Structure 1
Amino acid sequence: MTDVQIALIQALQAHAAWLEVPMLAFSFLGEPEFYLLVIAALYWCWDTRLGLRLALLMGITGGVNEALKVAFHLPRPYWVCPEIRALGSHPSFGLPSAHAQGSASFWGLLAADVRWKWFTVFAVGMAFLIGASRIFLGVHFPTDVLAGWAIGAAVLLGFLALERPVGRRIAALPLSGQVLAAFIGSLALGLASFGALAALGDWEVPASWAAGALEQSGEAIHPLDLLDAVMASGLFFGFAAGAAADRHPGSICAEGKGSVRLFRYVFGLAVAGAIWYGLGLLSPQGAVPAAYLFQYLRAAVAGAWVSFGAPAFFARYCPGA
């Protein structure tokens, strides 16, 4: 089965080289940075509720993906086959594909919210192209992508089934209880990956995988590093806790001209970037407890800025007219 998948990737790269630029573009549309750009635009400028739903869903699906990657601990194609060109790279394990899983969840929720037939077709097409791009770029086997789509759809269905009953229970809590619920949820997401890592025992990444990845891409791999899992956990907490603390959710989205909303968006992203990259300069190096704690706090602060800090600032200083 693996040989067939490798042959497929080689054939795509050899006979459809003109697809490299489009596939890189579609791959970017599956990156966390792209999702954050869209979520911030929705939350600050258009539909706060949809932005919040997307943020929580992507935090959940990201945490699930990180845990499953460690649980399966399988390689990426370019780690094990020198004939496959690494047109992209990533230090984590391959199964399931985070791009495929995230795209199924993200575009699936948008389609469920919009409920226009043409948009549903567009959303399915986007999820397909994002997943397919990862196969072409040599960073995922087709089975990684298929598993990602299936898991992303399952997470989405679970989210849609539970968001109302769980949301009503949490909304009935005082603010302290809502923040505590957000914290417990974020811990559950993070601990899933640490539990999967503990289950591996003394298993180590094969030296041939590390050598192959470095030779093909020029970048070292560290798939047992759980900083991305901690980041997803921290973002979930910061965004959920910040949204709970926002006393006027959605009020700024209904106000202001297009130019005012554009200013909010640009300013909000600039501050978010300053928080993320500024705190990143202070982060301890390596996968040590201090680094994990700092990564969690860094992500939580960035998430809280999006859902609470920026809306509070906009409501006071640039409500718009």
Structure 2
Amino acid sequence: MTDTSFILWLQQFSNGFLDLFFTYITKLGNPEYYMLAIPLFYWCINKKAAFRFTMYFLISIYVNSVVKATTAVPRPSGDEVRILYKESTLGTSSFPSGHTQGTASFWGYMAYYIKNKAFTALAVVIIILVGLSRMYLGLHFPIDILGGLSFALVILWLFNQFYDDLVKKMKTLSFQTGILLSIILPLFLLLPPSHDKGMLVGFVIGLLVGYQVEGTTLGFQSDATFGKQVVKFVIGVAGFFGLRFILKALFLQIGFSDTAPLAADVIRYSIIGLWASYIAPLVFVKFGLSTVGGGFPRTPAGKAVTR
């Protein structure tokens, strides 16, 4: 698993241009990239499709985090290979590559549903380049890259097998039951060891709760004029990162992050997820940036408002 021969072969071509090129390419797998891309998709393009994708993406990243924490495979050693961009790997293990899995999950999902040859080719190139960047920079072994790709594809297949049936079952539940399950069930994901599990679980809770509340009481539409889309995105992202910063500072100030860091992360990111899925759309509607009409209908047994 920890053979460095391919890394050394790749690094024999090292030069200043490739160092800079792969350092920027690898950032396409950074969380900040998806923190901007996913809200843009949700608020401005297609709410339903974006929610589906976000759930798949969060599941994929969670599995990656659990496997990393469970296997605890060391990263390549600086004694064997040249390591660049060390700051991106602090406190994490090697298998599977999170950057590769995240990139494959994002671009692979988009290619799967868009079904355009040119877009698929672009997606494949980006996935390959990010995987190569992780090895060129000395941050991962080849098996880590293959593992990230494999997990992304297998989880996508499994997700597509079960997602529609789960949604149908959720729509048969009462509104109160759906909200309660959306809070309780994700908490069980805190049990396995994983990196950033509080952030992931909290965001899932906020997203699930907000999506149901928004769909039942509001039903905002993603489409709007270009000018309104720009304003929506600016307001939404400002609120997203503003809450992230303010809540972090607040929880540190009152000592919550020190005494109960996991609970602080869950609550903090639940609020952020709620902003993304409900509060921001509510603001858009109130300011005339979005129209309403695309709700979350349930079967009569669910007793929710049908739009």
TM-score range, shorter chain: 0.7 to 0.9
What's the CA shift for 1:288? 6.2
Task: Specify the alignment match of 2:277 in structure 1.
Answer: 307
For residue 82 of structure 1, report the CA deviation from its aligned partner.
Answer: 5.7
Aligned match of 2:261: 291
Offset of 1:261 from its aligned partner?
0.5
1:217 — aligned with what?
A: none
Alignment of 1:102-251 (within 5 A): 102-193=102-193, 226=195, 228-247=196-215, 251=220
Cα shift at 1:289 = 6.0
Runs (5+) with no aligned partner, structure 1: 195-225
One-letter amino acid of the structure 2 residue matched with residue 253 of structure 1: S
AA of the residue aligned to 1:12: L
- Contact kept in structure 1, 2:220 and 2:290, CA below 8 Å: no
- Give the whole-Å Cα distance in 2 for the aligned partners of 1:289 and 1:60: 28
Alignment correspondent of 2:20: 21
CA distance in 1, matches of 2:62, 2:144: 17
CA gap 1:128/1:289 in 2 versus in 1, 3 angstroms = farther
Q: Does 1:100 align with 2:103?
A: no
CA drift at 1:108: 1.9
User: What is residue 64 of structure 2 aligned with on the other side?
Assistant: 65
Q: Equivalent residues in 2 for 1:32-43 (5 A)?
A: 32-43=31-42
Tell me the equivalent position of 1:269: 237
Percent identity between matched residues is 28
- The alignment's TM-score, normalised by the length of structure 1, stands at 0.82
Match of 2:221 in 1: 252
Q: Which deviates further from its counterpart, 6-15 or 289-298?
A: 6-15
Local SS of the residue matching 1:251? coil
Aligned match of 2:4: 6
Supply the distance in 1 between the matched residues of 2:261 and 2:289 (Cα, whole angstroms).
38
Structure 2 partner of 1:85: 83
Find the aligned partners of 2:31 and 2:273 in 1 and give their Cα distance: 13
Equivalent residues of 2:76, 2:138 under 8 A apart: yes
Secondary structure of 1:318's partner?
coil
Q: Secondary structure at the match of 2:29?
A: coil
Cα distance, 1:320 vs structure 2: 5.5
- Counterpart for residue 54 of structure 1: 53
Give the conservation status (yes or no) of the 8 Å contact 2:256–2:264: no
Name the SS of the counterpart of 2:82 in structure 1: coil
Confirm or deny: 8 A CA contact 2:4 2:80 kept in the other structure: no
**Which letter does structure 1 place at the counterpart of 2:60?**
T
Provide the rounded CA distance (Å) in 2 between the counterparts of 1:94 and 1:36: 23
- Residues 97 and 13 of structure 1, relative CA distance in 2, 3 Å threshold: same
Which one is further off, 306-315 or 27-36?
Answer: 27-36
The separation in 2 between residues aligned to 1:286 and 1:132, in whole angstroms, is 40
- 1:320 and 1:294, CA in 2 relative to 1: closer, same or farther beyond 3 A? closer
Deviations 1:211-261 (A, max 9, x none): xxxxxxxxxxxxxxx4x122111111111211111136763312x310111
Counterpart CA distance in 1 for 2:282 and 2:42 is 12
Deviation of 1:319 after TM superposition, in Å, equals 2.5
Distance of aligned partners of 1:33 and 1:118 in 2 relative to their CA distance in 1, 3 Å threshold: same
Give the superposition deviation at 1:84.
2.2
Contact 2:222 2:290 in 1 (8 A): no
In structure 1, distance between residues paired with 2:127 and 2:273: 25
Alpha-carbon deviation of 1:142? Answer: 1.0
Q: What is the root-mean-square deviation of aligned Cα atoms in Å?
A: 2.3
In structure 2, do the counterparts of structure 1 residues 161 and 289 end up closer, same or farther at CA, with 3 Å as the change threshold?
farther
Give 1:101 deviation, angstroms.
1.4
User: What residue identity is the alignment partner of 1:305?
Assistant: W
